[in-house]
Structure 1
Amino acid sequence: MKRTADEIYEALLKRIVDGDLRPGDSLGEQATAEEFGLSRTPVREALQRLSTAGLAERGSRRAFVVRRMDQEELEDLFEALGEMEALVARLAALRMTDAECQALRDVVVKGEAPGVDYEEVNAQFHDILRRGAHNAMLSRLLDDLHRRTMPLRGAQFRVRAERVTSSQAEHRALLEAVLAKDGDLAHLRMREHMAASLRVVSQLIGG
């Protein structure tokens, strides 16, 4: 059941990112269940996940629709995320252990390998930095923003192949700042990295 719900979620997410489903379009449980030939239970779970990610909302009749997110809201979201990620990068540069630095180096190398699942690697990269900051409160505060943005941040790599290349370079620059224990530079590089993501995501959702 879980795997089926995941598949529905990924299919609907792709349609939203590709523009096949636009803000305000219906995501009715019954229609979606019939399309996929499934019961409404996994469909309901997938729609709830889209809602948690900020990509779906309840319409006038309580049915799910694609969420309307204007450019200002998207910019506010990524601005908040970018500042928090930048703080994480600064702290990580100053606090990461040798083992954590090696893990970050390894995931950067992994992300440059042919055929790698870069969406997964990107999530691992940010997770290593977050844990390396050694600030539990900051990590918890980031949880909600990660849930709301990670689907879009991941989708950019599937839709725009060139974004993988630019992100690889940004990860490499961040790694160098962390290994140099340069907190200010790590902060700057992360802000640039998140700004680049915002530009691509804005294009994907028609902002």
Structure 2
Amino acid sequence: MSEGSAAKIHAALIARIAGGALPPGAALAETALASEFGVSRTPVREALQRLAQDGLAERGARRAFVIRRPDPAAMAGLFEAVGEIEGAIAALAAHRMSEVERAGLEALLARGETLPGEDYPAHNLAFHDALRRGAGSPVLAEVLAGLELQTLPWRALNFSRDAGRSAQSRAEHRAIADAILARDAEAARRAMQAHVAGAFLALSHSNRNPPQTDPSHDA
């Protein structure tokens, strides 16, 4: 029972991190989480330890768990690796996407043009998932999933902190898709690498200029 509860809590916390509800530095109080999920503190502790193993949580003040804060050097290295892997995936998608998948990609982009800002993060994930499927490389997809998990708390901040990032991301998606639809693998690779670099630069800027928060929220 503890194992199943821990897995459920772990999945729920990851979803909150991905959605930006748990930003870097947010406290993960065992007692509050146990009450929320209706369990003892044991499965909560197990879930938090899994988050730490994933690289998503760390010990903060008084040894309590908090969402991991970005380390500039680690963040740069992770995004560099993500850019290389996603670039390779985009290049493969340019070669391997079927006509049906290409039509679906075009339709996905069209839907994204009219989405409100709060819905754009989910659309962004759908775009990248479409390329992953179109590339047809389970090995690269698995490597990328591991890297993305480590960058999850930071990437979730991109659209919530930078009002202009969604528009920029749409333009970058269009450049990637145009290259894929033209079957230009190298152009797709370069466009994707530029897209990941843009996300990193936007995030770096937001981390240098974080929003002001009420210190009592960290208690």
Q: TM-score range by the shorter chain?
A: 0.7 to 0.9
Q: Which amino acid aligns with 2:108?
A: V
In the alignment, structure 1 residue 113 sits paired with structure 2 residue 114: yes
In the alignment, structure 1 residue 130 sits paired with structure 2 residue 132: yes
Aligned residues of 2:90 and 2:131 also touching (Cα < 8 A): yes
Does the residue aligned with 2:55 lie in a helix, a strand or coil? coil
The 2-side partners of 1:127 and 1:8 are apart by 18
Moved more, 175-184 or 148-157: 148-157
Does the residue aligned with 1:130 lie in a helix, a strand or coil? helix
TM-score by length of 1: 0.79
The 1-side partners of 2:204 and 2:180 are apart by 28
Gaps of 5+ in 1: none
Q: CA deviation at 1:13?
A: 4.6
Partner of 1:93: 94
Partner of 1:6: 12
Does the residue aligned with 2:160 lie in a helix, a strand or coil? helix
Does the residue aligned with 1:113 lie in a helix, a strand or coil? coil
Partner of 1:142: 144
Aligned residues of 2:91 and 2:189 also touching (Cα < 8 A): yes
In the alignment, structure 1 residue 199 sits paired with structure 2 residue 201: yes
Partner of 1:74: 75
Q: For residues 127-186 of structure 1, what are the alpha-carbon distances to aligned partners after superposition, in whole Å with 9 as ceiling and x for unaligned?
A: 110111111211111120122224432331122221000000000111110110000100
The 1-side partners of 2:85 and 2:37 are apart by 42
| Distance change in 2, residues 1:43/1:113 (3 Å) | farther
Q: Which amino acid aligns with 1:155?
A: L
Partner of 2:187: 185
Does the residue aligned with 2:156 lie in a helix, a strand or coil? helix
Q: CA deviation at 1:103?
A: 1.5
Moved more, 158-167 or 179-188: 158-167
| Distance change in 2, residues 1:47/1:113 (3 Å) | farther
TM-score by length of 2: 0.75
Percent sequence identity is 42
Partner of 2:174: 172
**Count of aligned residue pairs for this structure pair:** 200
Q: Which amino acid aligns with 1:10?
A: R
Partner of 1:65: 66
Q: Which amino acid aligns with 2:147?
A: L
C-alpha RMSD of the superposition: 3.3
